[in-house]
Structure formats: C-alpha cells, structure tokens
Structure 1
Amino acid sequence: MSDQGQGPANQGSPAREPIFLLPGAVTVLAGVLVAIHLASTLVLNPEGQQQLIFWFAFQPARIWLAAQDIGIAMPLIWTPFSHAFLHGGWDHLLINVAWLAIFATPVARRYGAGAMLVIFLVSAAAGAAAFAAFTLRDGVYLIGASGGVAGLTGAATRFIFQPVLVARHPETGQQVILGRKLASIGEVFTNPRSRYFALIWLILNAAIPFLPLLTGTSLGIAWQAHLGGFIAGMLMVGLFERPVPPPAPAP
C-alpha cells in the first residue's frame, strides 16, 4: 500500500489518507501485471514479443504435439500460470486490473496475501485447462489474467453477499461483529443476491460462443477460462476458511 509523502507533523492536522485503499498484495499484483505489459510493449521488438508469446502464453496444441517432440511440451509446466501475466493490449489489461481490484480485495482482506495469490494462480491454471478442453487442436493460445481474476470472483461470491454475523460479548453484552459467513455452494444459489450475481456471470460467459451467430464476428474472449477459473475459485476458497472464534471474556 502506498502512502502520500509526510511532511513535518503539525499538531492538530488531520491524518493523511493512503493513496491506495487496496490491500498491499493486490496493489503489488496489479503493479506486476502493468509492469510486465509496459516492458513488453516498450522494450521488446516484434520478434521479442513473438518469443514472449511462444514461451509464456498457454498453447493447448503443445499437449498433443508432445507425442512428436517431448521438448515442445516443456512450457506446459509454467504456461498454465505465466499466461495470466501477459495481455494483448492496454484495454485487455485495464479491464482485468479493475476487476482484480474489486474482487481480489475482499479475498485478500479475509484470507491474506498468500491465499489470494494461490487462488489467483490455481484458478488461472483451471481456466487454462478448461480452455484446452475446447481448443486442443485449434492452434490458438491463451493470455490474460481473466481466469485468475474469475477465480477470485468466484471465491468472493461465497461470502460478500452473505449477512454480517453478530454475537454478544459474554460479559458486557455488547454486540461484536464477527464478519460474514462462508456460504456453501447451495447457499450461494439460495441467497437472492449471490444467486443472481453468479447466474448472470455464468450465463453471460456461457453465451459468448453463440454471439457470432448474431453478430457474425468473434469477440476473441476466452470464455472457457472465465468459467473454469470461476468454478475453481468458488470450490477452492473453503480450503482457506477458519472458524470464527467467539468473543473472549475480558481478563
């Protein structure tokens, strides 16, 4: 988290607010995405950019080409994760960074930086797997943080729409806010707010491959990665949940 510069303290002056209200881990991850794209566009020439895509984008065709040349499959070790740090343009990057800021923030605040990053990376890999299932022999490649961001969206959907849990202190009787419960998958779809959000998100992404029937053009959106990442994040977030302790009595 970045703070504004501080001058000499003045008695009675209001405390300065931080420039960014995002958790530090979210700010760093967003900064890494921006820095990589900035470097790839300003430093690399067209040939270097092609090499960057070749070695770090996820290419499903490598899976079946491995039978002919095992060496060509080596990038499959890291590209299910590294593709999430590459973007096709500034518009692609900025949309993903904005979505990351919105949904990585509650996940990082609830579970910490490590859990947020694990969900992001594993969801990116799950998105790559879903992408490969539909494009194995198409010769296309996958780049962008969308799968990882979709996973954080799915994870946040499990709790951001739930009511706040409140308990009473055993000695003072005062209300103590415990936070929001982690809903089960069933509860996500019984709570009206989370149900509508999840269904709209899933339906819109599932409808993307049918849009060319109406528009005549392909949007080039990896909807498979969105769906795979979202489902992975929604299922995985429970691994990081810890029971909320009851308010302890005063000593």
Structure 2
Amino acid sequence: MTEVPQTPDLPEPPKREPILLLPVPIMALAGVLVTIHLASTLILNPDAQYELLFWFAFLPYRIVVAGVDPSLAVPLIWTPFSHAFLHAGWDHLLVNLAWMVIFATPVVRRYGGGPMLALFLLSAAGGAAMFAATTLHSEIYLIGASGGVAGLTGAAIRFIFQPVLIGQNPETGERIVLGRRLASIGQVFANPRSRWFTLIWLVLNAAVPLVPLLTGSDLAIAWQAHLGGFATGFLLVGLFERKV
C-alpha cells in the first residue's frame, strides 16, 4: 500500500476588513442624496432645476394660495419629505452627510435601517412644519436633509450618553452586555453630558436668526427645521423601542 503524504494545515488567510465601517442603510441613504445632487447639478439645465424645486422643495406659501387654486397645494402631500433629498450646494450636502454619519450610526445599530429611515422622514416633516409656522407668507423654499438629520440627533441623544447596562446569565454566571437604556426626557436633562449637549445644540440653533443682525451677513440656515426636526426625533424615538 502506498502512503499518501498528508498536506500540512495551512493558516487561514486573514479576513479582509471592509473599507467602510458604516452600516449599509446609512451608505444607501448617503448614496441617494449624492446621486440626486449629482443629477441635479450635472444633468439638469436651469429650467429643469427650477421644476425640481417647484415640485419637490417645501414651500409653505402653498398653504396660503390653496384657497385661490387648490391644485397648487397638491405638492404639500410629499414635499414635507422630499425636500430632505435636495441640497443647495456641495457644502450643504457634505455637512449634512457628516452629521448624519455621526448620529444615524447609533440609531441604525439600535433600531435597524427601516426605523432609522422612518425617523429621518418624520423628522424632516417635523422640521418642515416648524419652518411653515414661521415663514408662511415669505415664499421661501426649504431644502436639505438638516431637519431629518437633526431628528436622528435628537433620537440618539436619548440613549448614547446613558450608562451601559451589564446583566448576568443565571445559569453560567457570565456577564452580558445589555446595551443602553432609552432615557426619559427627565433623565436626559438629569445626565450632565446629555443635558449640556442638548442645551448647547438648542441654543446654537435658536441663535442663528441673530447672526445676520450681529455680523451683517446674509446667512440662509433653516434653523426652524433644525429645531422642529430635533424635537420630532427626540420625542418619537420611543415608538421604535423593541418590546422585551
């Protein structure tokens, strides 16, 4: 009988780490935002860009003119959400993407991609509502993901600063990381880190209208959408908590 020599065990090749560590839903949403902006800037001519704004940007003044021509109010069905996918420039888009990466990531990891997108859209609508309450007769369009991103920020604040809970397996005695508890509104303001982050964020955004008065610059930032979006995500995130 001829013996066949055994092949020595070879070490397993090292596993490749992904180039981007971002959750897939965040990369997908970022890809949609970038693709829309690329198309609007590189493909559409000025007339088509105007049509894009007319049909998909949020214009509160439509509420005023609805009594004259109800058809003008029809876009109000979708523009409280669709405005979040349009941006005024690359700087506008990149700032929103950076902020989204920071605060959408913990939301996705806690709740998943679907709830993250739902919070983003609901917060965009909440920001649009507050924008409408303060600019109803001004004929100003609202565009940008800021309201939705602010909502993800408000949602994340409810748990990212809370202590990590540690449990114990009753059979093995092994310590188990349970995650972070969703804080109540009172607990958010009782925790120094979440309290100061929230207060500073709110004060900075509420102070935006004063910047042109102090500097003379024409700063076009929809601070109302930021505050409305933040409040929406902050208050509604509890709806997505998993029942244990």
1:122-152: CA deviation from partner (whole Å, max 9, x where unpaired): 0000000000000000010000000000000
Deviation of residue 18 (structure 1)?
0.7
Corresponding letter in the other structure for 2:140: V
Partner of 1:213: 213
Partner of 2:6: none
In 2, Cα distance between equivalents of 1:242 and 1:72? 41
Q: For residue 155 of structure 1, give the secondary structure of its aligned residue in structure 2.
A: helix
Structure 1: which 5+ runs fail to align?
Answer: 1-9, 245-251
Corresponding letter in the other structure for 1:26: I
Corresponding letter in the other structure for 1:131: F
1:212-244: CA deviation from partner (whole Å, max 9, x where unpaired): 121012310000000000000000000011245
Matches within 5 A, 1:74-89: 74-89=74-89
1:156-192: CA deviation from partner (whole Å, max 9, x where unpaired): 0000000000011101112100000000011001101
Please say which structure displays the higher CA radius of gyration.
Answer: 2
Stretches of 4+ moved more than 6 A in 1?
none
In 2, Cα distance between equivalents of 1:17 and 1:218? 45
Deviation of residue 13 (structure 1)?
2.5
Partner of 2:224: 224
Corresponding letter in the other structure for 1:71: S
In 2, Cα distance between equivalents of 1:214 and 1:125? 30
Identity among equivalent pairs (%) = 69
Corresponding letter in the other structure for 2:181: K
In 1, Cα distance between equivalents of 2:108 and 2:42? 31
In 1, Cα distance between equivalents of 2:221 and 2:140? 12
In 2, Cα distance between equivalents of 1:218 and 1:171? 65
TM-score, normalization by structure 1: 0.92
Q: For residue 190 of structure 2, give the secondary structure of its aligned residue in structure 1.
A: coil
Q: Aligned pairs, how many?
A: 235
In 2, Cα distance between equivalents of 1:137 and 1:157? 34
In 2, Cα distance between equivalents of 1:109 and 1:15? 22
- The answer to whether 1:136 aligns with 2:136 is yes
Matches within 5 A, 1:1-251: 11-244=11-244
RMSD: 1.0
- Which is worse superposed, 88-97 or 210-219? 210-219
In 2, Cα distance between equivalents of 1:13 and 1:170? 38
Corresponding letter in the other structure for 1:52: L
In 2, Cα distance between equivalents of 1:11 and 1:139? 67
Corresponding letter in the other structure for 2:39: A
In 2, Cα distance between equivalents of 1:191 and 1:106? 19
In 1, Cα distance between equivalents of 2:243 and 2:131? 35
Corresponding letter in the other structure for 1:127: G
- Which is worse superposed, 220-229 or 11-20? 11-20
TM-score, normalization by structure 2: 0.94
